[in-house]
Structure 1
């Protein structure tokens, strides 16, 4: 799951596709994903994993890193 998320970020969101992204990197603080990019990522993940993300779940705790995103969608 981590690889799919990182691939989407590299191919669809970041302007630097050669950027190395670790599953523990803080996506927002490190400037890898901005707020609009995060919304695109969430929409992609909802379609990919057929799980709707309620507004109250759209928190840094759930979406700060690729690792946290994978944990959220695997629960």
Structure 2
């Protein structure tokens, strides 16, 4: 049986998501790819409006992920 996290993230690939890292830093971006260790987001925006082209974040550092679209 496929882990729930993998199944959900596969469905969300290519869609805009919001994530919180360590309960303090929030970001939105398009979920580009993932594996068992990291998430890759494109077109990233943080809570104060700073923008980036891409961000890699360790999955263990993510508090929650929300689908925005």
TM-score, structure 1 normalization: 0.27
Whose relative contact order is higher, 1 or 2, with alpha carbons under 8 Å and at least 6 apart? 1
Considering fraction of residues, name the structure with more strand: 2
Larger relative helix fraction: 1
TM normalised by structure 2 equals 0.29
